[in-house]
Amino acid sequence: MTPPDFDAIVVGSGMTGGWAAKELTELGLRTLVLEAGRPIIPEQDYVEHKPPWEMPFRGLGDRRALAARQPVQSHSASFDELSHVFWTDDADNPYSTPSDRPFFWFRARQVGGKSIIWGRQVYRWSDLDFAANLRDGIAVDWPIRYADIAPWYDHVERFIGVSGQSEGLAHLPDGQFLPPMALNCVEQHVQRRIADQFGRARVLTIGRVANLTVQHNGRAPCHYCGPCQRGCITRSYFSSVNATLPAAQATGRLTLRPFNIVKRLIMTGNRVTGVHVIDAKTRAERVYSARVIFLCASALESARILLNSGIGNSSDQVGRNIMDHIKWGGASGVFDGWTDRRTIGERPNGIYVPRFRNVTSRHPDFIRGYGFQGGAGRGGWQAALHAPGIGAALKARLSDLGPWSMSFGGFGEMLPREKNRATLHPTLVDAWGIPSLHIECQWSENELAIHRDMNVTAAELLEAAGAKNIEPSTSGPSTPGGTNHEMGTARMGRDPKTSVLNRWNQSWDVPNLFLTDGAAMTSSSCQNPSLTYMALTARACHYAVEQLKRRDL
Amino acid sequence: MERRELIRWLVATAGLQSLNALGAADLIALGRDVHRRPLHRAISPRVERTVAVAAERILPGATEANVGAFIEKMLADWHTDAEREWFVGGLADLDTRCRARAQHDFVDCSEADQVAVLTALDDEVFAAGAKDHWFARLKYLTVYGYCTSEVGMRALHLYPAPWRYDGCAPV
């Protein structure tokens, strides 16, 4: 029998693929990372300091090209005239939904994946989350608890660098924090007033963010330029390009292959022995072999690979239980005072109000909860875009900062439901002939009740802080997928009959196959999920290597 | 302008063959000139001038910030054909109003007459709350173009970036 080409193959080079590459290579495995998209060279591809006048449309984007090539991707929060190159081409990568139930599938194909364009908010999940399904009798129980993942949160935070403030909240555990970013004057005021009125029942803290506030592991602190989604030449925020992939490279055991699109996995008996890839440019096909395979291609893409391979799905749960976070509920208000103060620089972070619903009490309308993100600030010239007047009067308005205002926007938990499901489309294929997905996903009444409650409590927070002109959000719920926190399509569980992965992110059906991206989530929490994906990836890598050494894989 | 666009423009204007004859300084000047001109002439020189003059009256400094070229670029490559026709059609109202007031087209009127016409129009449009009026679009593009230009961003102290964060700085 010929030895495999590599010890391990990792599919995907983003948030979790980068972590798998780092851990596996550092543990001694010769590792191949397959990336569907192009390579990224920071010195060329990072353009965060390009001023607006050097953009053909000054930041408004090439409207016609976007309508033709990125009509879905352009809805993403951090999508702009320059960062649009970090999202996929919708024409080459089609998928379908029922016409009355849109789902936004935001996708990134390049080395670094979505870790280049993510929002960088990182929050630990707790047993309020890991025990939630058991407590509520919903879906299946997580096979892990906070104690299982806590050391891996430490491990990941120490490496990536997380700035934040410890708050001592059991349901939002503190982590390994670098110094927090500053709250601005009005946010400090609101923080005090909320504390006066709500005690510890509702807390406002600075966001916990994977942007460095001090030099860390050879990476420079943030310089507050603003558009993180265009890259970061000082490597000040965490991405796989900025941190994990260089660490993997340094071991000498990493082979990184961009432009390699995975068509399917090859099985021998109940073991996966190879990965069948298509060269994105030449369309040449070949198979790479390895002893262990990690799928880190993003929740829906990893599920698609399993479905296209016809493996790992004896539970019939692959593609089901799609979850995202519901948003666009909240409120904003205006503050008198501080007119002699302003902010300087672009803080890549805001405030955070940790979940306070269904923590110690029980809400009559919904289970689970939501957290708020947001911030305070003053205006700028944008207010003059629709202002009356011409000439010198209008010009003077450009420098008018206006009053301070503050907004809160909720991120709400979504329940896992089997009917929220991705299946292989019977006919639709991508530009490389690989069957695409049909996605059916909608909010349930629980999410919609959460969304409605966001408006109520955000207004309460602003009232407590003494804001005027408080305006609850008039937006309906976000489109499912729109928060880009999609997860749940190959869930972990305790029983192979009802889950795809065991407590180690290991396929019940295929023991040398691990899946560690968002697909593995058994419930969605209301906190941003990437930190949990990374911690579970590192944990699974250490388990897999132990098993390999014991020859149990 | 993208390099690809630059070459297309040079080919379209038969400028390519003469490139070899130019020195470095000329090339830079040419590049700067090209940068200021849209790829396709979407509007007539007459309309171009009307836009440029109106922009300067709406926001003094617009000319120095080359706002006219930005608006022309947006009309050529961002707006739809229908939106462009709607905008250019609306712009003709400036000539109509100036002829009624001072017997000249807008660009040939005195600055005082131009300002008077624009002020009256601004009052009417804002009294009606008409955000979708062509004049509201002209103002939007003028303000946006100025505030995203190098001249405008420097004047407003938005460029260069401060490279630090202060959440409670004196105004």
Q: What is the pLDDT of residues B49-82, one digit of tens each?
A: 999 999 999 999 999 999 999 999 999 999 999 9
Q: How confident is the model at residue B53, as a pLDDT? A: 98
Q: How confident is the model at residue B30, as a pLDDT? A: 43
Instruction: Work out the average pLDDT over B130-147.
Output: 95
pLDDT at residue B22 is higher than 80? no
Kindly identify which residue of chain B lies nearest to residue A399, measuring between CA atoms: B156
pLDDT at residue A217 is higher than 80? yes
Do residue B70 and residue B148 come from a single domain? yes
Kindly identify which residue of chain A lies nearest to residue B136, measuring between CA atoms: A386
B95 to chain A nearest CA, in Å? 18
Instruction: Work out the average pLDDT over A312-328.
Output: 98
Do residue B53 and residue B98 come from a single domain? yes
CB-based contact B156 A401, cutoff 8 Å: no
Do residue B125 and residue B48 come from a single domain? yes
Cα–Cα distance between A457 and A180 in angstroms, integer?
A: 26
Kindly identify which residue of chain A lies nearest to residue B3, measuring between CA atoms: A56
Angle between helices B134-147 and B67-77 (to 10 degrees): 120
CB-based contact B165 A392, cutoff 8 Å: no
Do residue B49 and residue B29 come from a single domain? no
- Which of A339, A343, A381 lies closest to B166 in CB terms? A343
A244 falls in which pLDDT band (50, 70, 90)? very high
Encode pLDDT of A369-411 as tens digits. Answer: 999 999 999 999 999 999 999 999 999 999 999 999 999 999 9
| Most B-contacting residue of A80, A381, A382, A406 (CB-CB within 10 A), to test interface | A381
CATH no., domain A6-121+238-323+419-442+483-549: 3.50.50.60
Kindly identify which residue of chain A lies nearest to residue B67, measuring between CA atoms: A53
- Local structure of A312: helix, strand or coil: coil
Do residue B63 and residue B135 come from a single domain? yes
Mean pLDDT of chain A: 98
Instruction: Work out the average pLDDT over A150-169.
Output: 98
Mean pLDDT of chain B: 83
Q: How confident is the model at residue B150, as a pLDDT? A: 98
Burial class of residue A276 in the structure, from the number of CB atoms within 10 Å of its CB (0-12 exposed, 13-18 middle, 19+ buried)? middle
| Most A-contacting residue of B77, B165, B166, B171 (CB-CB within 10 A), to test interface | B165
Tally C-beta pairs within 8 A across A and B: 133
Could you tell me if B162 and A224 are in contact, meaning their C-beta atoms sit under 8 angstroms apart?
yes
Do residue B19 and residue B61 come from a single domain? no
Q: How confident is the model at residue A2, as a pLDDT? A: 83
The amino acid sitting at B3 is R
User: Does the complex come out with an ipTM higher than 0.85?
Assistant: yes
Q: How confident is the model at residue B40, as a pLDDT? A: 55
pLDDT at residue A421 is higher than 60? yes
- Which of A224, A395, A399 lies closest to B59 in CB terms? A395
- Residue spans of the domains in chain A: they are 6-121+238-323+419-442+483-549, 162-219+326-412+443-472
Could you tell me if A412 and A369 are in contact, meaning their C-beta atoms sit under 8 angstroms apart?
yes
Instruction: Work out the average pLDDT over A423-435.
Output: 98
Q: Which residue has the higher pLDDT, B31 or A502?
A: A502
Least confident of A62-71, A197-206, A539-548, B24-33: B24-33
Could you tell me if A517 and A296 are in contact, meaning their C-beta atoms sit under 8 angstroms apart?
yes
CB-based contacts of A425, cutoff 8 Å, min separation 6: A95, A96, A435, A436, A437, A438
CA nearest to A303, candidates A264, A271, A270: A264
A185 falls in which pLDDT band (50, 70, 90)? very high
Return the number of other C-beta atoms located less than 10 Å from residue A203's C-beta.
19
Do residue B19 and residue B97 come from a single domain? no
Burial class of residue A314 in the structure, from the number of CB atoms within 10 Å of its CB (0-12 exposed, 13-18 middle, 19+ buried)? middle
CB-based contact A341 B171, cutoff 8 Å: yes
Q: How confident is the model at residue A91, as a pLDDT? A: 98
Do residue B32 and residue B91 come from a single domain? no
Quote the distance between the C-alpha of residue A496 and its chain's center.
27
Q: How confident is the model at residue B4, as a pLDDT? A: 42
CB-based contact A57 B77, cutoff 8 Å: yes
- Which of A49, A56, A341 lies closest to B169 in CB terms? A341
A521 falls in which pLDDT band (50, 70, 90)? very high
B131 falls in which pLDDT band (50, 70, 90)? confident
CB-based contact B78 A64, cutoff 8 Å: yes
CB-based contact B169 A343, cutoff 8 Å: yes
Q: Answer yes or no: is B142 within a domain.
A: yes
Do residue B20 and residue B75 come from a single domain? no
Q: Answer yes or no: is B164 within a domain.
A: no
Q: How confident is the model at residue B7, as a pLDDT? A: 37
High-pLDDT (> 90) share of chain B, %: 72
- Which of B78, B118, B146 lies closest to A390 in CB terms? B118
Give contacts of B70 with chain A, Cβ < 8 Å. 58
Do residue B11 and residue B27 come from a single domain? yes
Q: Answer yes or no: is B111 within a domain.
A: yes
Domain of residue B4: give its range: 1-37
Q: How confident is the model at residue B130, as a pLDDT? A: 81
CB-based contacts of B21, cutoff 8 Å, min separation 6: none
Cα–Cα distance between A491 and A140 in angstroms, integer?
A: 9
Encode pLDDT of A336-360 as tens digits. Answer: 999 999 999 999 999 999 999 999 9
Q: Answer yes or no: is B22 within a domain.
A: yes
B42 falls in which pLDDT band (50, 70, 90)? confident
What is the DSSP annotation of A217-245? TTBPPP---S-GGG--TT--B--IIIIIH
CA nearest to B97, candidates B61, B74, B122, B79: B122
CB-based contact B78 A184, cutoff 8 Å: no
Domain total for chain B? 2
Number of Cα atoms under 13 Å in the Cβ half of residue A471: 11
For the whole model, what pTM was predicted?
Answer: 0.93
